[in-house]
Amino acid sequence: MPDPKFHLAIPVNNLEQTRKFYTEIIGASEGRSDTTWMDFNFFGHQLVAHLDRTNDHNSKTLSNHVDGDLVPIPHFGAILDHEDWESLINRLIESEWPFELEPHVRFQGLPGEQWTMFIRDPSGNALEFKFFENPDQLFATE
C-alpha cells in the first residue's frame, strides 16, 4: 500500500498570483481548478487553494519559539530530499522571493537535527520546508 497522502485547503487572496507562486516558484503542478479554487500536487500531496474574498485571514500574527527561532503559526510545508531542497532554495533566490526565516540548521547536534526555512505565499500563508541529512531522525526523541 502506498504512503498516505494529506489534503490541505488554504485561503488565498488571488488565484493567479497563487498559481504562479506554487507552480513557478515552488514547482508544484496544477490539477483541477474552478473559478474559486485550484488543486496543486504539492510534493505528492493535495493542496487546494480556495479564494477568500473576505480577506479576513491573517496568519501573520501568531508565532512560537522553536530552538531560538520565532516560528509563524499556523504553517505547513514539506520534508524534502537534499536535491529538492537545494532546487527550491535556488528557485526562491532566482525569483527574489523573500525568506521569513533563511535556510539554517535547527537542533544542531541533537535528535531531530534538520535544515529548515520559512517563506510566505502571496496570500501570507506560512510555509516551512525541511531537509534531514538523516531521514531516520524525523521523529527522533533521543
- Please write the tens of the pLDDT for every residue from 17-60: 999 999 999 999 999 999 999 999 999 999 999 998 876 655 55
- What is the rounded distance in angstroms from the CA atom of residue 72 to the CA atom of residue 142? 26
| pLDDT greater at residue 141 or residue 76 | 76
Contacts of 34 by beta carbon, 8 Å cutoff, 6+ apart: none
**Residues 85, 87: Cα–Cα separation, whole Å:** 5
Do 51 and 15 touch, CB atoms closer than 8 A? yes
Query: How many Cα atoms sit within 13 Å of 94 on the Cβ side?
Result: 10
CA distance 61 to 14: 21
Q: What is the pLDDT of residues 65-97, one digit of tens each?
A: 899 998 988 999 999 999 999 999 999 999 999
Domains of the chain, earliest start first: 7-53+60-137 (3.10.180.10)
User: What pLDDT, on a 0 to 100 scale, did the predictor assign at position 26?
Assistant: 97
The reported pLDDT for the residue numbered 55 is 64
